[in-house]
């Protein structure tokens, strides 16, 4: 079995899988660090695990919502599902996921955000 990366969608799906693997590792590290009595794990590494866990969760949600919007776009001529109502509902679900993502976490807590807002003033 060989994996062929022929389209942008193939690369996008592998990016989603890679993001989910990083999320799983950071989630596991966060759980282990929270229940550890070791100072290094608990005080130093736990904030890093939480940081990466939150960011990769946000990236995963945005990527999955974009995938739903692309695949179930009602204006696209080729549909995966023949039923229009299911296609429309998945399309709307992708938009709702995109709108309810934790955008503040990704932008306001970013290190470049204060610099960017100062440049806009």
Q: Where are the domains of the chain?
A: 8-119
pTM, two decimal places: 0.78
Profile the chain (121 residues) by mean pLDDT over runs of 10 residues.
Answer: 78 93 93 80 82 91 92 73 78 91 78 79 77
Among residues 108, 96, 28, which one has the least CA distance to residue 62? Answer: 96
- Distant-in-sequence contacts of 80-86, Cβ < 8 A, 24+ apart: none
Whole-number pLDDT of residue 24: 95
**Could you tell me the CA-to-CA distances from 11 to 5, 17, 18 in Å, in that order?**
6, 10, 10
CA angle 28, 30, 36 (to 5 degrees): 100
- Which residues 6+ apart lie within 8 Å of 14 measured at CB? 5
Give, as one character, the DSSP assignment of residue 40: I
């Amino acid at each position: 079995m060989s994996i062929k990366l022929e389209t942008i969608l193939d690369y996008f799906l592998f990016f989603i899988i890679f993001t989910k693997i990083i999320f799983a590792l950071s989630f596991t590290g966060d759980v282990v660090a929270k229940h550890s009595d070791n100072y290094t794990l608990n005080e130093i590494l736990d904030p890093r695990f939480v940081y990466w866990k939150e960011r990769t969760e946000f990236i995963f949600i945005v990527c999955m919502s974009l995938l739903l919007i692309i695949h179930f776009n009602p204006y696209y001529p080729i549909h995966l599902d023949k039923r229009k109502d299911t296609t429309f509902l998945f399309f709307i679900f992708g938009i709702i996921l995109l709108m309810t993502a934790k955008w503040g976490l990704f932008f306001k807590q970013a290190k470049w955000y204060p610099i960017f807002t100062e440049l806009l003033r």
